[in-house]
Structure 1
Amino acid sequence: MKTFRKAAEHYTLLLSIILTALFAVQCQPIKAEGPSTKTPPDGKQTIMLALLIDTSNSMDGLIDQAKSQLWKIVNELAAAKCDDGSRPNIQIALYEYGNDGLPSSEGFVRQVSALTNDLDVISEKLFSLTTNGGNEFCGYVIRTSLQQLDWSSSKADLKMIFIAGNEPFTQGSVPYQTACELAKEKDVVVNTIYCGNFDEGMGTSWKRGADLTGGSYMAIDQDRKTVYIPTPYDDKIAALNEQLNATYIAYGSSGVKKKALQSTQDRNAGSYGTSNVVERAVSKSSSAYSNSSWDLVDATKDDVKAVEKASEETLPAEMKGMTVEQRKIYVKEKSAEREKIQAEIQKLNQQRKAYQDQHAAADAQESALEGTMIKAIKTQAKTKRLSWK
């Protein structure tokens, strides 16, 4: 195992983008942990991202920065547009590999989360990751994620794997060539991020792995740090986030638990500073953040009869005793309030981004590796007629 210094914030921004698949591969598919969120039946395009993260001892910094950059990446995905101007569905999966705490019989691989549009779950799972020794089998984890995840069969959907690590891409019993060939069959692009010297990654087949599926190869300079630029709009957006939370109406068997999880992930984001709180608030004001399984406002958008179907015993205290018509009025008021807050956050975020662009260092765009990563995603998205106009 190489001794690796803590990866800096810059290098983990890449990480977050890859947020989506850490799976154990066997000749027989392994049972996945937790339910897979199937492609929504609304006919919309879907962006599927599987993030495969090396959780061996040398990767503490990588995981740490992934936590701090998750919402920034989500915001980039949420800004994508379909050919008809609508927003695509977004699903993310998360895998860990290369950790001695995982079963050797399963290639030291574990599915942390199946493909899901529940972003709070992804955040929760990401914050639960820890490092421990390990053998890093890239071909194994790629194949596992391809076998276990419910990848769409639609050619219109953008399906991507991002795998990050710092050992040779050739290790393990599953050749990376075999795994990448399976990816091509499923129309999944494999992008690789080597945590170390660019030429060293080239020499250990990380670029070759990406090339086989038309993906992008990147190497991270662990000494380069992400520079956060505070703005006059940050505190306003953070305050609006608190107001936004008050518009959620928890109902159903998981409502109370899910609303508590929402607050927990707000605090997790806050543990990385105000800038990360703001990025999460922006995500929560986008179409990517939907909680129809437990929030009555979002549920009503998916099913106009959701209020009528909701049993009174699962409703929050303030709604108990209301007639169906009173419930509808209450939900409609909360929905209007939310839309107003979300619009204000989006407006402030545009001003915030303009301020950051104005105050960024002259060479920031050229030296920022995350810019290269986002460019790779957008380039691949063009093949599916997705854009960021």
Structure 2
Amino acid sequence: MLPACHAEAVMLATKIALVLVILIDVMGQGLAFPIFSALMLSETSSMVASGTSASTRQLLYGLVIAVFFIAWFFGSIYIARISDSVGRRRGILLCLTGALAGYALTILAIILSSFWLLVVSRVITGFTAGNQPIAQAALIDLAQDDDEKQRNLGLAVLGASLGLVSGPILGGLFSGGPFAATVQLSMVPPFVAGAAVVLATLVFVALVFHETSNTRVPLDIRPQAILSLLWAITRHPMTMRISIVYTLYMLSFVTFYIFFDTSLEERFGYSTEGQSVGMLVMGATLALTSLFLLPFFNRLASPSGLIVRGIVLEVAIVGVFATVDNVAVAFIVIALMGALHAVLLPIFFGLYSQSASAEDQGWVMGVSIALFTLASAVASLAGGLFGTEADSGPFVFASIVGVTALCAIAVVWRGHLTGQPTPAE
């Protein structure tokens, strides 16, 4: 009996460690986006030269967000591949160490009011933010059957949801205080708190997480070898079909996610704390849906059917948010978007997992995160560009992309994703 109890305790600790790893990856976004919005868009901030136009500030904000996701794009491919070669544990510890360094540079950039040091910190943080595909692959390694795999992927979404919640909470709890003399210095304590959470997670993972996969592939980190990993999608037709729709969906969702906080400021006069509440609302509904409602929704229709209905609803939600003039309704819409994403994301992850062999789970999870980061970089730049023309510009762009995703489903999924996919066609 004791060995069985011990094994269950080890399994629980391992899953907690992996959820915390994903939480750390997402926490930085929920913490950073509202703060960077204030640093870039506020005329009282010295992070950007005084006299800089509002449109230029919007572009600089988009640039800061975009470089993070571009670095994450390349890092997710490298790190996921490295984890298949040296093991999940070493890959995760490498990423957490990089995240800690990124937090330190961000703190220094804010203190010095250095825009370009902030960009460098975003590059380092982004490149080492490759933990999510590794943790997802490790959760898949732990699953004994398809049902447990789906539950474990739900834990991945739970970790992301908790990350969205914890970031704004840290921002709200630690902003201001004795460092509130300037806008910049009031933003330092949240990043110090974030760095402390990363350090604690690093120690916890080092102590309790043990390797989940004994499969190893040769390590090849040449640029052409890494880019060939994405090109390998063309040799996996099911993965490619999933990727087309997934990328368009993520481009639409992330555009909403990145720019709804700036919209709250521009349309309703919300401060950094108010924008953090928006992140908190979305994260809370993500977490609650992942915990309590996901099995119910999974029984309603096939994966492809749920994705079609979900994207239709997502387009409608974006349209309502862009036009509503009541802040309470705006927050309800944000909550609905969080719940919807909690349903659709694990469905996409499940489709990805079933489109690849056991040996390629690290690769296919890396592909999903790489495409997410690529879509996020495009959303940051495109949304910033459209935002210089009109406040609703990013949301018009998100709606158009969502409709394009529905068209892609009609073209590339017809007759192929009526139910669960299989690795070989």
Q: Same fold (TM over 0.5)?
A: no
TM-score scaled by length of structure 2: 0.28
Q: Which has the higher contact order (CA 8 A, sep 6+)?
A: 2
TM-score scaled by length of structure 1: 0.30
